[in-house]
Chains A and B, each alone.
Chain A
Amino acid sequence: MTLPVLVGNRSFLALLFGALLALPAFANQYTLFVGNLMLLYIILALGLNILVGFAGLLAFANAAIYGIGAYGTALLQVHLGWSFWAAAPVGAVLAMLIGTLLAFPALRLSGIFLALATLAFAQATQWVLWHWQSVTFGAGGFRVPPPDFGWIPVKQDYGIYFVSWAVTLGLLLFTWRIMRSRIGRAFVAMRDGEIAAQSLGIDLLTYKAMAFALSSFYAGVAGALYSGLLGFVSPEAFDLFQMIIQKAMIVVGGLGSVVGSVLGAALLVYVMEVLREFKSTQEIVFGALLIAFMVFQPHGLVVFMKRWLPGWEEPLHLAGGVQSTAPGHDTSVAGATSKEHASAERT
């Protein structure tokens, strides 16, 4: 019937992106800025969900890779005089290359050990940004010239907004396709059982490297856009706090769900802006909201969406949480796999 066409995850995305496209018509500069940040966070959440939600790799380096993308793009402009349009892809690729190196420790480490190794990498990156002053300008940050739109007659903040919108939409469609292809299935196979996946002929190194490469590329792209949006790059934007927010976004939205990433990012950005009203007690309210989300819907908001909106499909949604621990642990209680959960849902 016509109902599944009007609702379901595809329509939700179309509505959201339509609204975001029309935003400049209704919004003042402040709302436009927040909307632009929301787009960046959507990109970050999409990438992180590929890594953590689909591939099951609990890595904590995404914020640092985001920073490498931003610094790469901005430094090419400032040190070498490149234009934003040339520097941005190179910055993103640089972030991707560095991020892919993390696949090597990911071969040997899992669960909390991988989390810590990637966290250590992130902290070391912060240290480099602070101390390699000749290149990175140190902790004081530096200013970057805004992207030049040349002959296109568009206002600066509208221009960067539309570029962000287009890039976000492109990456979203790309993620959608990839997760429905062999690669996506290989990721999920890896997530749900490494040994079983290997016995199916899935080479762990290749797919882990791919997962890191994809998420790092997304983070790098987001970083490039960040430098274009703010015109100022400094290390504190890429610290542990940023990493925590990104993690919260994908868990609140739903691990292993493309729309979940979008949902989580959009919702959390919106919530954080609304919470401004609470001034100094923001932290308490935000923390309480996170707890509430986890208590009432630990598998993410997509579970609500699946239940209430017909036509909403989530074939790869991780209803059981990431594999938690050191080898030898029986994970059968740590959570059901999506298949078990899905079949339970349909009864």
Chain B
Amino acid sequence: MLMFSYLMATGITTGAFYALVALGIVIVYKSTEVVNLAHGDLFMVGGMLAYTCYVMGGIPYLPSLLLAVAGAFVVGILTERVAYRSVLKHGLASVLVATIGVSFVLKGIGRYIWGGKGDYLAFPPIVSPEPLQFGNIMIMSQQLVVLLAVIVVMAALALFFKRTRAGKWMQATASNPKAAMLCGLRIDRIYMYTFAVGAALAGAAGVLMAPLTHLYPDVGFVLFIKGMAAAVLGGLTSIPGAVLGGVLLGLAEQLAAGYLHSSFQDVVAFLVIMFALIFLPTGLLGARGLRKV
């Protein structure tokens, strides 16, 4: 029973990781209909910037976090203006290749600047590194921080898209850019800010998860794949879907590792995806669209 409780708890906490990454992917997708393949590298950029400020530079934690998020935001704007702006109207395949290019550039820069410092860089957690007790199981305090962040971000994004005008503008742009332009929306600005906010979210996730994932130039890659899997499982346009997808993925991994064998941990996520998409081709909570002729 104890093992089950631990596996459930771990499933939820690792699921929170995937959910946080997935939320960033969803927000970009909701507005641009594009999956940013460089999202994982933006995660790394945020973490590395925070490392430079906090661990190397001695700046206190909160300013370091804000600086890292701001830095990621700026990188998001830069990549949009340089790489994506002119490519967005030319179709998905070209944009994907552009995002691949950005991914290589960011990873290469990360390796160049921070790569020689060691294989994995440690990042101190916000609170004590000692585990906390909850009933009869222990949880790392940083995992609770991430869990909290997921809830906060999910609520904030849901409110943003439902209640604010900017959120409505983004959804309008996604569903019909031409019509949005006709209504007077500056869609190029909207795309730019969407990518920037997505990048900032990735950067924030990078900083919050760094004490648990550690920092290295390729830290974003596997998290991005799993995060994208979670987002697609959730339906790609649904914010609660992203969180649900993430948690389900985390749970599937841990339960398979615990009750089958640890060698299944990595592949279960993908098996779950394949089967889920067979029965729910647009994900769990995705928009079940009408096919237009």
Contact = CB atoms under 8 A, between A and B. Distances in A.
Interface of A: 52, 58, 105, 108-109, 111-113, 116-117, 119-121, 123-124, 127, 131, 195-196, 240, 244, 247-248, 251-252, 255, 280-291, 293-295, 298-299, 318, 320-330, 332-335
A112 B235 CA distance: 11
Contacts, number: 186
13 contacts: A112-B232, A116-B273, A117-B273, A123-B225, A123-B270, A283-B104, A284-B104, A293-B97, A294-B94, A295-B87, A298-B98, A325-B92, A335-B90
Contacts of A111: 92
A332 B87 CA distance: 16
B177 A286 contact: no
A280 B270 contact: no
B90 A299 contact: yes
B108 A282 contact: yes
Contact of A335 (B89, B111, B237): B89
A112 B237 CA distance: 12
A70 B163 CA distance: 54
Interface of B: 29, 33-35, 82-83, 86-87, 89-98, 100-109, 111-112, 175-178, 225, 228-229, 232, 236-237, 263, 266-267, 269-271, 273-274, 277-278, 281-283, 286-287, 289-293
Nearest to B217: A283
A290 B98 contact: yes
A164 to B, nearest CB: 26
Given A244-B100, A294-B101, A284 B293 contact: no
A62 B32 CA distance: 27
A124 B274 contact: yes
Contact of A195 (B176, B277, B293): B293
Contact of B277 (A117, A288, A318): A117
Contacts of A120: 229, 269-271, 273-274
Nearest to A334: B91
Given A247-B96, A321-B94, A289 B101 contact: yes
Given A120-B273, A286-B104, A322 B92 contact: yes
Contacts of A333: 89, 176-178
Nearest to B83: A291
A172 to B, nearest CB: 22
A330 B176 contact: yes
Given A287-B108, A333-B89, A295 B176 contact: no
Label chain A's interface by main secondary structure.
helix
Given A113-B277, A120-B229, A283 B107 contact: yes
Top-6 shortest CB links A-B = A321-B91, A328-B289, A287-B104, A290-B101, A283-B108, A284-B108
Contacts of B278: 105, 108
B115 to A, nearest CB: 8
Given A248-B97, A326-B286, A334-B91, A124 B104 contact: no
Contacts of A119: 225, 270
A332 B104 CA distance: 31
A319 to B, nearest CB: 8
Given A105-B277, A116-B277, A290-B97, A321 B92 contact: yes
A117 B292 CA distance: 23
Given A58-B93, A113-B283, A248-B97, 5 more contacts: A108-B277, A124-B270, A127-B270, A291-B101, A291-B105
A231 B89 CA distance: 44
B170 to A, nearest CB: 15
B71 to A, nearest CB: 18
Nearest to B289: A328
Contact of A299 (B94, B109, B270): B94
Contact of A326 (B86, B107, B282): B282
A284 B112 contact: yes
B93 A330 contact: no
A324 B232 CA distance: 14
Given A282-B108, A326-B289, A291 B270 contact: no
Given A294-B101, A322-B91, A333-B176, A283 B83 contact: no
Contacts of A113: 232, 236, 277, 281-283
Contact of A280 (B92, B93, B111): B111
Contacts of A299: 90, 94
A327 B33 CA distance: 12
A105 B277 CA distance: 8
Question: In the complex, which of the residues B94, B108, B178 has the most CB atoms of chain A within 10 Å of its own CB atom?
Answer: B94
Contact of A288 (B101, B175, B225, B274): B101
A243 to B, nearest CB: 10
Contact of B228 (A116, A290, A294, A328): A116
Given A299-B90, A320-B91, A330 B292 contact: yes
Nearest to B286: A326
A247 B97 contact: yes
B177 A324 contact: no
A67 to B, nearest CB: 15
A285 B112 CA distance: 12
Nearest to B32: A324
A332 B175 CA distance: 11
Question: In the complex, which of the residues B103, B108, B271, B292 has the most CB atoms of chain A within 10 Å of its own CB atom?
Answer: B108
Contacts of B291: 195, 327-328
